[in-house]
Amino acid sequence: MIAATATFTFRVEEDLKSEFAAAAKSRDRTGAQLLRDFMRDYVQQQQDASEHDAWFRRQVQMGIDSANAGNLIPAADVDAKFAAKRAATRRRLDSE
């Protein structure tokens, strides 16, 4: 299946156009090929960011729902757990 094509026209400074064309040519590419690559990469980055944002929002909502359901750990328990981890790490470092 061949994708339909469209023309994308925009203005750019002549110096930038010349430098871009020379840089593209040095990589055996045309400016149009590079621009298509840049556009594809940008679209993919935006899709990835959007997917990550949706995942993150789901994770936050799960945490909120869990907390609202009463699934909480007292702060003193968390402090004690991490104090023990810090102490174990210090002992391990001191023994090396």
Rounded CA separation 1/60 (Å)? 41
Could you tell me the CA-to-CA distances from 91 to 41, 62, 94, 95 in Å, in that order?
48, 36, 5, 6
Give the per-residue pLDDT at 31: 94
Model pLDDT for residues 54-91, shown as the tens digit of each residue: 999 999 999 999 999 999 999 999 999 999 999 999 99
Max Cα-Cα span within the chain: 67
- Helices and strands per DSSP (H, E), number in the chain: 3, 0
Model pLDDT for residues 41-59, shown as the tens digit of each residue: 999 999 999 999 999 999 9
Closest CA to 34 of 49, 47, 22: 22
Length in residues, the chain: 96
- The structure tokens listed for 8 are 């994308």
